[in-house]
């Protein structure tokens, strides 16, 4: 069937109702022990029910505990490299003390939106993939390349579903031509002084590392403490790991981001953005001065997230520890990061143990056919919205693919306001129905244009 006739096929109604059903299944991977695997198996059964053509005509393989891999055979040889569309169907827990407008697992549809945990992260981005595939199948469309749908059920707990799927493709010598996972979105005012909307496409991803700092000391009664206790030693180590622990560096993606944003920014701010794009050293100083997300774009961040030690208010603990989370900047390595932490702590009595480590990704290019395909699909779904490359600061399942796939991009084709982005992992997460419809159009156009 031609591209024109497939495009002319109207999407079926009811996308909001189908997402609502997905939200009602509490697939909270961090609470697997308490809830059991039932919600996850129900989710797999639900998508089989809601997307019958997908289950009939695509081949489904299950990998690890919660990995789903659908293959849609295309017209070209498999060796040409497939398109891999990724998403995850697990969600983060809900704090029972938080005041949600609607219950987080009711999937309420109101005021043109679907409300609930996972509507943005990541069942909303998942459903627009399935909707596009089901709609194209109903029109008889066959893609030019193989299309794989890679869905994981433990992304939020850094589980093995995506690792297993990536390993399977690699063992089969299937090098993806293009991989798309969650990440950026269509946002308003991407920088405080940049007006309009932009489609933020993650061309790289920071690495992740979790360290445990431990120290031992003299126990005993708190009435006669030694000069340096175990708790003080750990507190001093954490204090030495301040914001300036790592030197700033500006990856090419940030310079490209500034150049793109300059084109849509009026007035003096345009010239400032152009100057920053041309002067990475100046950009590094400016962004670190802004702190927050701006600073995180240009350097490795370090944050103590948990501390422990002690059994009573009047007893000196003989052992204390702290957990430190780092997001490693592009261009650095996990080995360099650990060495830098040890040098900054400057205390041989503090042990540094790596609990988890993932290298930062390489940067995917923006001058290749794959990125051009993203731009074309974006133009159809979101006319007059500028595609802008940037660096993803959070971890995604796609990091397991960027070691062997040359083109990995992190972009969920949904509109997200500042408030909506803040609701991810927070309160009152929701997605507009019109945004879901545009997201389906993005993926449908992307698949159609593979040839």
Q: Average pLDDT, stretch 105-130?
A: 98
Helix (H) or strand (E) holding 235: helix 230-240
Percent of the chain with pLDDT over 90: 88
Q: What is the pLDDT of residue 10?
A: 78
- Alpha carbons within 13 angstroms on the beta-carbon side of residue 362 total 11
Per-residue pLDDT tens digits for 236-254: 999 999 999 999 999 999 9
- Give the pLDDT score at 191: 82
Question: What whole-number distance in Å separates Cα of residue 252 and Cα of residue 245?
Answer: 22
Q: What is the pLDDT of residue 6?
A: 44
* Confidence band for 158, pLDDT divided at 50, 70 and 90: confident
Q: What percent of the chain has pLDDT over 70?
A: 98
Q: Reduced to 3 states, what is the DSSP secondary structure of residue 335?
A: helix
DSSP H or E run through 184: strand 178-188
Tell me what pLDDT residue 5 has: 44
**pLDDT per residue as tens digits for the range 85-95:** 999 999 999 99
pLDDT at 79: 79
| Mean of pLDDT values over 208-222 | 92
pLDDT, average across residues 137-162: 95
What does the pLDDT read at residue 245? Answer: 95
Q: Who has greater pLDDT, 192 or 158?
A: 158
pLDDT for the residue 194: 87
Give the model confidence (pLDDT) of 381-424 as tens digits. Answer: 999 999 999 999 988 999 999 889 999 999 999 999 999 999 99
Task: Transcribe 58-93 into DSSP letters.
Answer: SEEEEETTTEEEEEE--SS-GGG--EEEEEE--B--
pLDDT on residue 3: 44
Q: Where are the domains of the chain?
A: 3-205+361-448, 211-358
Rounded CA-CA distance 228/236 in Å is 10
How many Cβ atoms are within 10 Å of 52's Cβ, its own excluded? Answer: 13
Q: Is the pLDDT of residue 51 over 90?
A: yes
What are the beta bridge partners of residue 212?
A: 323, 353
Cα-to-chain-centroid distance, residue 107: 22
CA–CA separation, 210 and 356 (whole Å): 5
Average pLDDT over residues 289-298: 88
* CA–CA distance, 175 with 102 (Å, rounded to integer): 43
In which band, very low, low, confident or very high, does the pLDDT at 4 lie, cut at 50, 70 and 90?
very low
Average of per-residue pLDDT across 157-179: 94
Do residues 437 and 380 touch, judged by C-beta distance below 8 A? no
Q: Return the SS3 of 207.
A: strand
- Which of the four pLDDT bands, split at 50, 70 and 90, describes residue 219? confident
Contacts of 131 (CB under 8 A, 6+ apart): 11, 12, 15, 18, 436, 440, 443
Length of the chain in residues, anyone? 451
Of the candidate CATH numbers 1.20.1530.20, 3.40.50.150, 3.40.630.10, 3.40.605.10, the domain formed by 3-205+361-448 belongs to 3.40.630.10
**How confident is the model at residue 131, as a pLDDT?**
98
Q: Taking each helix axis as running N to C, give the angle between helix 252-263 and helix 268-278, from 0 to 180 degrees, rounded to the nearest 10.
A: 160
The pLDDT, as a whole number, for residue 78 is 77
Query: 427: pLDDT confidence band, cut at 50, 70 and 90?
Result: very high
Q: Which CATH class is domain 211-358?
A: alpha beta
Task: Kindly report the average pLDDT of the chain as a whole number.
Answer: 94
pLDDT (0 to 100) of residue 9: 64
Question: Where residue 223 falls among pLDDT bands split at 50, 70, 90?
Answer: confident
Report the predicted TM-score, pTM, of the whole model to 2 decimal places.
0.92
Residue 343 in this model has a pLDDT that exceeds 80: yes
User: 58 φ, ψ to 5°?
Assistant: -100, 150
Tell me what pLDDT residue 293 has: 85
Q: Which residues of 299-323 are buried (b: 16+ CB within 10 A; e: fewer)?
A: bbbbebeebebbeeeeebbbebbbb
pLDDT tens digit string along 11-46? Answer: 899 999 999 999 999 999 999 999 999 999 999 999
Residues contacting 395, CB < 8 A, separation 6+? 158, 205, 206, 208, 358
DSSP at 314:
T
Distance between CA atoms of residues 25 and 260, nearest Å:
40
d(CA 447, CA 430) in angstroms, rounded, equals 26
CA angle in degrees (0–180, nearest 5) for 205-211-212 = 160
pLDDT for res 76: 87
The C-alpha atoms of residue 69 and residue 87 are separated, in whole angstroms, by 11
**How many Cβ atoms are within 10 Å of 82's Cβ, its own excluded?**
26
- pLDDT score recorded for residue 271: 94
Q: What mean pLDDT do residues 181-210 have? A: 93
For residue 176, the tally of other CB atoms under 10 A from its CB is: 27
Task: Give the DSSP H/E element, type plus range, for residue 282.
Answer: helix 280-290
Of residues 178 and 10, the one with the higher pLDDT is: 178
pLDDT at 2: 42
């Amino acid at each position: 069937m031609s591209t024109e006739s497939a495009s002319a096929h109207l999407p079926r109604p009811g996308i909001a109702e189908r997402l609502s059903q997905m939200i009602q299944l509490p697939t909270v991977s961090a609470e697997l022990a308490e809830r059991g695997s039932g919600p996850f198996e129900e989710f797999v059964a639900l998508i089989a029910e809601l997307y019958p053509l997908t289950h009939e005509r695509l081949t489904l393989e299950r990998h690890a505990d919660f990995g789903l891999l659908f293959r849609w055979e295309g017209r070209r040889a498999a060796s040409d490299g497939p398109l891999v569309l990724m998403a995850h169907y697990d969600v983060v827990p809900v704090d029972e003390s938080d005041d949600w407008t609607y219950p987080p697992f009711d999937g309420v549809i109101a005021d043109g939106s679907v409300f609930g945990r996972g509507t943005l992260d990541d069942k909303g981005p998942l459903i627009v993939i399935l909707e596009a595939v089901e709609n194209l199948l109903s029109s008889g469309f066959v893609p030019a390349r193989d299309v794989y749908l890679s869905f994981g059920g433990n992304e939020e707990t850094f589980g093995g579903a995506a690792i297993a799927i990536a390993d399977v493709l690699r063992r089969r010598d299937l090098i993806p031509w293009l991989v798309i996972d969650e990440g950026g979105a269509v946002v308003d005012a991407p920088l405080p002084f940049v007006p309009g909307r932009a489609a933020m496409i993650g061309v790289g991803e920071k690495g992740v590392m979790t360290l445990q700092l431990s120290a031992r000391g003299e126990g005993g009664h708190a009435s006669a403490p030694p000069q340096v206790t175990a708790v003080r030693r750990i507190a001093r180590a954490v204090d030495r790991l301040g914001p300036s622990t790592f030197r700033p560096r500006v990856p090419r993606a940030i310079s490209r981001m500034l150049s793109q944003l300059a084109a849509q920014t009026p007035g003096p701010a345009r010239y400032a953005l152009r100057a920053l794009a041309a002067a990475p050293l100046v950009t590094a100083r400016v962004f670190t001065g802004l702190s927050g997300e701006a600073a995180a774009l240009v350097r490795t961040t370090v944050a103590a997230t948990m501390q422990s030690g002690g059994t009573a208010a009047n007893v000196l603990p003989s052992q204390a520890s702290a957990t430190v989370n780092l997001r490693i900047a592009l261009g650095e390595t996990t080995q360099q990061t650990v060495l830098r932490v040890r040098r900054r702590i400057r205390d041989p009595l503090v042990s540094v143990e790596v609990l988890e480590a993932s290298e930062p990704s390489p940067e995917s290019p923006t001058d290749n056919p794959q990125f051009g395909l993203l731009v074309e699909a974006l133009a159809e779904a979101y006319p007059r919205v500028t595609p802008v490359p940037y660096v993803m600061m959070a971890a995604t399942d796609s990091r397991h693919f960027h070691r062997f796939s040359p083109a990995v991009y992190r972009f969920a084709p949904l509109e997200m306001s500042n408030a909506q982005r803040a609701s991810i992992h927070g309160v009152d997460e929701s997605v507009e129905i019109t945004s879901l419809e545009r997201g389906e159009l993005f993926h449908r156009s992307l698949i159609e244009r593979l040839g």
